Amino acid sequence: MASINDALSLAEQAEAEAAEAEAKAAAARAHAEELRAQKIASDTAEEEAGSADDNAEVLDGDAVVADRPRRLRGTWLRWAAVAVAGLLVCALLAASGLMLWQGHQASQRRAQEAEFAAAARQGVVNLMSLDFNHGDADIKRLIDSTTGQFRDDFEKSKNDFMTVMKDSKVVTKADVKATAVENMTKDSADVMVAASSQISNSASAQQPARGWRLNVTVQRDNGQLKMSKVEFVP
């Protein structure tokens, strides 16, 4: 902003100098007109008046010649000041546009990370929260949150899995503690998930909570984010 003010000050100074030069030129022309009038009024001083007229023309020419560089300089300074101010404004607008674009990109990335993290979180809950009392619904929810080979494996083994759950009367409950998105693209991401689970079955009472770390691959499938791979990390 200070640079723009300096440019405007230079423009005002140039305009003042141009106005001063124009005033001096006008005074010189008025003086020449006065000498010419004296020539017409005095017949007896014709030669002297002619000389004065010649001198006036010389003075007028000198004034115009002397005034021309000042006018040119004043005009150049005005245009230079305007050009500098315009460049500064363009630079400020470009910088503002870049900042807005970068902010938009960062906001988009945060939203995308949150989307992948939420999908991984829900997938882990579906995977590790199962109750034999409503095992069919729990397994269906788990399968619906998976895709690719991971889904195919669950589809093939779901009946055996259900039999084991009902025979041992397994009840598990998971709680996700934290997530961290890694290696993200537009349609997939690897998400580190820290979770804990509590397990109880017919053979024992409720066991103490156990901590887990999982590397969950989330993939976009028909517009929905689903788990395509889960690895337990030591």
Q: What is the pLDDT of residues 219-230, one digit of tens each?
A: 999 999 999 999
* pLDDT in the model for residue 72: 60
* pLDDT in the model for residue 92: 66
Stretch among 50-54, 88-92, 151-155, 187-191 having the lowest mean pLDDT: 50-54
Residue 108 clears pLDDT 50, i.e. is over it: yes
Q: Counting beta carbons within 10 angstroms of the beta carbon of residue 115, is it exposed (0 to 12), middle (13 to 18) or buried (19 or more)?
A: middle
* pLDDT in the model for residue 114: 92
DSSP at 220: E
Stretch among 30-34, 80-84, 191-195 having the lowest mean pLDDT: 30-34
Three-state secondary-structure class, residue 229: strand
Stretch among 30-39, 63-72, 191-200 having the lowest mean pLDDT: 63-72
Task: Give which of 212, 214, 215, 213 is closest to 190, Cα–Cα.
Answer: 215
- How confident is residue 164, by pLDDT bands cut at 50, 70 and 90? confident
Task: Give which of 202, 212, 149, 204 is closest to 179, Cα–Cα.
Answer: 212
pLDDT tens for 9-65 read 544 555 565 556 566 656 656 655 666 666 566 555 455 545 445 554 444 545 444
Q: 229: Cβ–Cβ under 8 A, 6 or more apart, which residues? A: 148, 150, 216, 217
Q: What is the mean pLDDT of residues 92-109?
A: 70
Q: What is the mean pLDDT of residues 161-173?
A: 87
For the entire predicted model, the pTM comes to 0.56
Mean of per-residue pLDDT scores for the chain: 76
Residue 4 clears pLDDT 60, i.e. is over it: no
- How confident is residue 194, by pLDDT bands cut at 50, 70 and 90? very high
Q: What is the mean pLDDT of residues 92-117?
A: 77
**What's the CA gap between 80 and 58, in Å, rounded?**
33
- How confident is residue 156, by pLDDT bands cut at 50, 70 and 90? very high
Edge-to-edge strand order for the sheet containing 171-182? 130-131, 171-182, 188-200, 210-221, 224-232
Q: What is the mean pLDDT of residues 201-228?
A: 87
Question: How many other CB atoms are found less than 10 A from the CB of residue 161?
Answer: 15
Q: What is the mean pLDDT of residues 83-110?
A: 71
Q: Which residue has the higher pLDDT, 103 or 172?
A: 172
Backbone phi, psi, residue 74, to 5°: -65, -45
Q: Counting beta carbons within 10 angstroms of the beta carbon of residue 170, is it exposed (0 to 12), middle (13 to 18) or buried (19 or more)?
A: middle
